[in-house]
Structure 1
Amino acid sequence: MLRTATHDGSVVTLVFADGTRARFHAIWLRDNALDPETRAPGNGQRLITIGDIPADLSLAAAEVANGDLQVTFQPEGKTVAFPAAWLRAHVYDRDHTHRPGWTEAGITTWESGLAAPCADWADVHANPRAKRGWLAAVAEFGFAKLTGGPTEPGSLLKVADLFGYVRETNYGPYFEVRTEVNPTNLAYTGLGLQAHTDNPYRDPVPTLQILYCLENSAEGGDSIVVDGFRAAERLRDDNPEGFALLAGYPARFEYKGSDGVCLRSRRPMIELSPDGQLVAIRFNNRSSAPFVDIPFDRMEAYYAAYRQLGEYIDDPAMGVAFKLEPGESFIVDNTRVLHARKGYSGAGSRWLQGCYADKDGLLSTLAAMEMAQPEAAE
């Protein structure tokens, strides 16, 4: 609830029930008005453009009514109510300074002590609470396992169906991960793979990857996941200048492993938003192209920071390891969590299938479930 509302022509100042004070501009309130002439009642989309708002807009009145805010705009003579809780959730009159490399609320960075978040196949398909918990784990930690699934080829597509759609690439709707003769990609050998993000040569990069186990009787081949955001935090704390170099200059990535395909991208290894929020990690030694966008006098320092980030990623104290059994899978946020594989022998068999999907679908499904089932979080 609101205690008081005072205003001049361009700003209203509110005091909430707990004494918190916040200011809102007239133009911001008019643009975000919640009335049905401004916002479509069914989907909340805005029905006006910025040009529809009078350039000489002002506040004619602002008062507390039943604990909420009611304002009148001139020259329109339009009166609109704003719920106090809505205003509290959208306060922008606050300190906006952040340390570079900050993460948004709800993200937890981790190292090797984390127990891999896990859910049961039948449970997430039948129980909305279980499904929501699994999706929430992916959003918070950047990965989660799924156990007890079927072992028929293509079963991974049913994982993507839980929240969205498969993103088809030149590899097809999904791809096989098993030993091949003359492979087009090192993933199709028994070699160990350094922790990496997939397909950094794409723009945009696939934001989710699903790996699904159909057979795994080979010796070795354990999966390892590493939190790239945590590695970036370590670099920022230990070497701020190096962090700034990897965030401030674009690396280059390239893939041309099969006929008719030549994929290239130019993006930083550590991507930040304009206000310094960690957005994405791109780290894949196999797909790195020559770096040509770093000034000559900063190239050696850039490589030193690159090496240091790689050392954190390779640090055994950073990784969570597990061996997938048939019918088990895991999903990673490919903009954040790197995945690796220990080498495996030629004896036995190891057959995984992989596919890509989009994180916005997962986050949308999770948000919709949170709105529909708020009690599930309790």
Structure 2
Amino acid sequence: MPRNVHLSDDGLSLTAQLSDTQSYRFHAIWLRDNALDAETRSPGNGQRLITLADIPADIHITAASWAGDQLKVTFAPEGKSVTFPANWLAAHAYDSPDARLAPGWTGPAITPWDSSNGTVTRAPLATLQSDAEALCTWLGAVENHGFALSTDGPTTSGALRDVVALFGYIRETNYGPLFEVRTEVNPTNLAFTGLGLQGHTDNPYRDPVPSLQLLYCLENSATGGESILIDGFRVAQKLHEEDPHGFDLLSHYCARFEYVGSDGVCLRSRVPMIELSPDGELRAIRFNNRSAAAITDVPFDHMQAYYAAYRRFGELVDDPANAVSYKMAPGECVVFDNMRLLHARTGYSGAGSRWLQGCYSDRDGLLSTLAALRAPKAEAAE
């Protein structure tokens, strides 16, 4: 396909045709900073070898032309020429209409859900350990829906480590590398009782908060104790749909969280319940009534409305229409995004037993493993 390219603003930018119907503008400074040549980027790891100070402040483009699918660009005053593949430029284009997305939007990799479209993805642990394609699909479910379950694992203490090893590492906290979720005498946390628990995110008092949580079932013969998951992103979007002002209050003002449940531990954080990026993308939910401290960062004139929004958020969390529930079987492990999903459980009786082991991990490790698994497929498609 013949492609067009032309310079603008005395070479401070160019417009390149990347498809039959789409052209994009790129600034000279951006192109030079992102040059793909071996003098700018390490061939071994792709890391940048120069700083911005190494690029002349008066950088501009003197020539640009297509050779097949490669755009050759020459810069002055360096006299340096580099090439950019058309597909690379299309994947990194930043020239788009200012869409002004409504606060609470999510990217294409995330599908917010409620009970109408929440699906539980399950796969045997042995399959995940031996089949890269199955692992890729399973990790993709965690990225997209925020959770997935492994099944048919051993029912021995510490088996949880085998699940973490699929994608990353354990993040140790004051609860230890692994923690037990079962009834205790004089528990340090209400999670270690048979009480039902409202939907919540874990460790909101920690900064940074653990971004993944895993719960592995070793025993579950007690009556009750069903596990519940709620997509906090979808709950936040529903709040925005019915009360935009309330959404703005929960995302603008900081709540406070605190944990002082054991000797030598005093954890505190000051963060919004609904965390957004500067352009309104949903980044994280922090909701935990048990660990909420006194809210002191909301002005007097907004506190009444803030609490109304807080109450409504909790009502949406409690609404079965926004949840999926399941009863874990021994040998099953759920992995979920602790910065997005809230988890809960129904109460359970003293008859029988319910023993889960849990741990925390980090989402970046899971997403890194997923990207690496997908990379060979992307290369094969090119």
Match of 1:99 in 2: 102
Superposition pairs for residues 186-335 of structure 1, below 5 Å?
Answer: 186-335=190-339
User: How far does residue 238 in structure 1 lie from its aligned partner after superposition?
Assistant: 0.4
User: Among residues 16, 19, 29, which one is paired with 1:17 in the alignment?
Assistant: 19
User: How far does residue 106 in structure 1 lie from its aligned partner after superposition?
Assistant: 1.2
**1:124-149 Cα deviation digits (max 9, x unpaired):** 01100111111000000001111100
Distance 1:375 1:195 in 2: 41
User: Among residues 363, 367, 378, which one is paired with 2:367 in the alignment?
Assistant: 363
Identity %: 63
Distance 1:122 1:283 in 2: 34
Superposition pairs for residues 75-114 of structure 1, below 5 Å?
Answer: 75-96=77-98, 97-113=100-116, 114=118
Superposition pairs for residues 35-184 of structure 1, below 5 Å?
Answer: 35-96=37-98, 97-113=100-116, 114-184=118-188
Distance 1:283 1:243 in 2: 14
Match of 1:3 in 2: 3
**One-letter amino acid matched to 1:146:** S
User: How far does residue 2 in structure 1 lie from its aligned partner after superposition?
Assistant: 6.2
Distance 2:178 2:69 in 1: 54
Distance 2:18 2:265 in 1: 58
- 8 Å contact kept, 1:2–1:67: no
Distance 1:61 1:275 in 2: 35
Distance 2:18 2:357 in 1: 54
**1:55-85 Cα deviation digits (max 9, x unpaired):** 1111110111123210100010000000000
> Secondary structure of 1:373's partner?
helix
Query: Which runs of no fewer than 5 residues in structure 1 stay unpaired?
Result: none
Distance 2:178 2:278 in 1: 34
User: How far does residue 376 in structure 1 lie from its aligned partner after superposition?
Assistant: 9.9
> Secondary structure of 2:356's partner?
strand
User: How far does residue 16 in structure 1 lie from its aligned partner after superposition?
Assistant: 2.4
Q: Aligned pairs, how many? A: 377
1:337 aligns with 2:323: no
> Secondary structure of 2:107's partner?
coil
Distance 1:368 1:2, change over 3 A: farther
Distance 1:29 1:124 in 2: 41
Distance 2:26 2:55 in 1: 16
- 8 Å contact kept, 1:2–1:17: no
- 8 Å contact kept, 1:201–1:254: yes
Distance 1:16 1:352 in 2: 53
Q: Taking structure 1 as the reference length, what is the TM-score of the superposition?
A: 0.98
Distance 1:232 1:14 in 2: 39
Q: CA RMSD in A?
A: 1.2
**One-letter amino acid matched to 1:324:** M
- 8 Å contact kept, 1:2–1:16: no
- 8 Å contact kept, 1:2–1:69: no
> Secondary structure of 1:279's partner?
strand
Distance 1:35 1:359 in 2: 31
**One-letter amino acid matched to 1:54:** P
Distance 1:299 1:340 in 2: 27
Distance 2:173 2:69 in 1: 53
Distance 2:205 2:319 in 1: 25
Distance 1:23 1:374, change over 3 A: closer
Match of 1:349 in 2: 353
Query: Which runs of no fewer than 5 residues in structure 2 stay unpaired?
Result: none
Distance 1:322 1:171 in 2: 26
**1:174-211 Cα deviation digits (max 9, x unpaired):** 10000001100000000000010000000000000000
User: How far does residue 375 in structure 1 lie from its aligned partner after superposition?
Assistant: 8.5
